[in-house]
Amino acid sequence: MVEQREIRSSEERVTHSDFALVMTKSHSGVAAEEELEEKIAVSRLEAWYGSNKVLNGLTLGIAKNRVTGIIGPSGCGKSTFIRCLNRMHENVPGAGVKGKVLLDGADIYDPGVNPVRVRRRVGMVFQRANPFPTMSVRDNVLAGLRLQGARDASTDEIMERALKRAALWGEVKDRLRDPATGLSGGQQQRLCIARALALEPDVILMDEPCSALDPSATYRIEELIYELKENYTVVIVTHNMQQAARVADRTAFLLSGELIEYDATDKMFTQPADSRTEDYVRGRFG
Amino acid sequence: MNGEATRLGASGGGLAELRQSVAGHGAERTFRAICLLALLLPLLLLATVIVDAVADGAARLGWGFLTSFPSRHADKAGFLPALVGSGALMVLTAAIAIPLGIGAAVYLEEYAKRGRMTALIEMNISNLAGVPSIIYGLLGLELFVRVMDLGRSLIAGAATLALLVLPMVIMASREALRTVPNSLREASLALGGDRWQTIRKVVLPMSMPGILTGIILSIARAVGETAPLVTIGALTYVAFLPDSIGSAFTAMPIQIFNWISRPQADFHANAAAGIVVLLAFMLVLNGVAIWLRLRLQRRLEW
């Protein structure tokens, strides 16, 4: 009953068997989901800032075209965890990483890998909307391409497609030349999503994307996340358990840099295996 | 309601007490007066200088004064070579100090690892900003005029002034770079930009208003500098316009100094007129700095 779930994409046997081991432990008693293709396999991931260890050897797999939620109390390392998935973590002075993160089977921490390339495939949306204030709506969407020096004529098409996918096109199509900072908070966050989508990534990481937004803007983003999984693999960190329950297919619970439990979201919220998970999702701490 | 008021009033004349604390007691008033005086005194002195200069120089101020060369006859002497010299110095100084200053600031803020070495460098840059300008003059004389054999030329003067303003340009640029929120750098990196692209397309455009303001104010100070130019040997009587960066030159403060040290009172009027022109020049530069900052900042409003 436990592991009918089969792990595909399999050059790295060692890592995958590690992963399967942990999955067995935390997965006990899960009703089998449909077969999922694995997009990212994280194995024994450790991360630290200076002498402060934040992640203590996480191992988990992230399913393709699904939304994976990461929950846990403040300081549990959930933001650090997703920042390790596109090599943003190492930009902080004193930060370091150990372990493996396989993206379609290739380790993004391999010494030969250029982090800039990784970030083009693994896009990121931050806690606070951060459109570039010197740029118009249009230029913000195209910022990623511009940064990379792209200058072809198809950019308008790319921009329109990205804005449509971010469910923002209708609201801004007449304001493309206006400064991006004139948009509302929710629109700015969707603009940031569009900006990430314009690069055609495979994976979108979202670090508490709604924490600065009002409920109706939050609702729109959540709807959008639901649509995005058609084409993308989404990993979302959230402080809000209702949000995790609403948008995530699978949810991982982190505590003090350890993976406590990782399972189908329904299961996590209705019959968690670990008592700490239960305490957290019932709101007894955090 | 009524009862409450009565009770308040009854409790030892509370209202009178409150009144007193609003008006402020003696010490507060005295302190306020001293602060006001501290504000008014320099303003008054500045006003005196301006009024005095305008009164003394009014007779000489005019188109002829701005377009004539100096002369032995006070009433025919003009300010043209000094004006052109100062303008040329300003442009050259900016051309040297801006790339160096912004480059150094970008390195310190965006690339350098925080450590003892950077702390030492930072401390020394702040110290350099406080070094008297005549020391820079001596350095310029030795380094540019003699060792590099540039002579007493515009370029030697500009290089000296550039050294003088460099610490200020670096500090102002660093301040401006620090105002760019880290979240924007992260956004750019997350979009697959590298460091250089992030700096060029995101950080510099955002910090430009602050950087430009700092640069203009520093350059304005350089234009008013006299000591370093005297040290490297700017001429005091120039009957020609500089024709190249290697040409000898004079500058406004030098010309003013020259006129004022003459015994004839007529030349003193020329000096006063020169002072008015110099002050106007500075005022315009400062005005441009303010205008630029407001204009660019409006574009950046959140």
End-to-end CA distance of chain B: 48
A147, A158, A197, A200: which to substitute to probe chain B, counting the most B Cβ within 10 Å?
Answer: A147
In a domain, residue A286? The reply is no
pLDDT at B178: 92
In a domain, residue B58? The reply is no
Chain-chain contact of B186 with A126 (C-beta, under 8 angstroms)? yes
- DSSP tag of A136: B
| Closest to B88 measured CA to CA, from B149, B163, B145, B158 | B158
CA–chain centroid gap for B73, Å, is 34
pLDDT at A153: 57
Domain encompassing residue A60: 13-281
Q: Which chain A residues touch B181 with a CB distance below 8 Å?
A: 130
In a domain, residue A22? The reply is yes
Q: Which chain A residues touch B188 with a CB distance below 8 Å?
A: 132, 143, 147
B109, B191, B298, B301: which to substitute to probe chain A, counting the most A Cβ within 10 Å?
Answer: B191
In a domain, residue B151? The reply is yes
- Among A63-77, A146-160, A211-225, B140-154, where is mean pLDDT lowest? A146-160
Q: Report the C-alpha gap between B225 and B197 in whole angstroms.
A: 38
Domain encompassing residue B103: 80-247
Please state the φ and ψ torsions of residue A48, each to the nearest 5 degrees.
-150, 160
In a domain, residue A221? The reply is yes
- DSSP tag of B160: H
Look at the block and give the residue holding tokens 């050259």.
Answer: B92
Residue A38, CA atoms < 13 Å, CB-side half-sphere:
24
Answer whether residue A285 shows pLDDT above 90. Answer: no
Q: Report the C-alpha gap between B102 and B107 in whole angstroms.
A: 8
- The helix/strand/coil state of A103 is strand
Domain harbouring B196, CATH code: 1.10.3720.10
A86, A128, A132, A200: which to substitute to probe chain B, counting the most B Cβ within 10 Å?
Answer: A132
pLDDT tens per residue, range A247-263: 999 999 999 999 999 99
B193 touches chain A (CB under 8 A): yes
Percent of chain A with pLDDT strictly greater than 70: 85
Chain-chain contact of A119 with B190 (C-beta, under 8 angstroms)? yes
Quote the mean pLDDT of chain A: 84
In a domain, residue B173? The reply is yes
pLDDT tens per residue, range A60-104: 999 999 999 999 998 899 999 999 999 999 988 889 999 999 999
Identity of the amino acid at A148: Q
A209 touches chain B (CB under 8 A): no
pLDDT at A26: 41
pLDDT at A27: 42
pLDDT at B7: 52
The tally of domains found in chain B comes to 1
Q: Tokens in use for A123?
A: 């896009």
Q: Please report which helix (H) or strand (E) contains residue B105, including its range.
A: helix B80-106
In a domain, residue B267? The reply is no
CB A180 within 8 A of CB B202: no
In a domain, residue A173? The reply is yes
Of A91, A93, A134, which has the smallest distance from its Cβ to B113's Cβ?
Answer: A93
B182 touches chain A (CB under 8 A): no
Which residues does residue A255 pair with via DSSP β-bridges, in sequence order?
A258
The tally of domains found in chain A comes to 1
In a domain, residue A4? The reply is no
> How many Cβ atoms are within 10 Å of B67's Cβ, its own excluded?
11
In a domain, residue A122? The reply is yes
Q: Report the C-alpha gap between B131 and B154 in whole angstroms.
A: 22
CB A43 within 8 A of CB A15: yes
User: Hey, CA dihedral for B238, B240, B245, B247, is it positive or negative?
Assistant: negative
Q: Tokens in use for B74?
A: 């006070």
In a domain, residue A188? The reply is yes
Domain harbouring A223, CATH code: 3.40.50.300
Q: Report the C-alpha gap between A116 and B192 in whole angstroms.
A: 5
What confidence category does residue A56 fall into, taking pLDDT thresholds of 50, 70 and 90? very high
Q: Which chain B residues touch A158 with a CB distance below 8 Å?
A: none
Count how many residues are written for chain B: 302
Secondary structure percentages of chain B, helix, strand, coil, to 5: 75, 0, 25
pLDDT at A150: 66
A63–chain B nearest CA distance, Å: 22
In a domain, residue B18? The reply is no
Return the number of CB contacts < 8 Å for A and B: 77
Residue in chain A nearest B111 by alpha carbon: A93
The two most distant CA atoms of chain B are separated, in Å, by 92
In a domain, residue B89? The reply is yes
pLDDT in 10s for each residue of chain B, 302 residues: 454 544 554 455 667 666 666 555 788 889 999 999 999 999 999 899 889 888 888 777 777 777 777 777 777 777 888 888 888 889 999 999 999 999 999 999 998 888 888 899 989 998 988 888 889 888 888 888 888 888 788 888 889 999 999 999 999 999 999 999 999 999 999 998 888 889 998 999 889 888 988 888 888 888 888 888 888 877 767 777 777 777 777 888 888 888 888 888 888 888 888 888 888 888 888 888 888 878 877 665 44
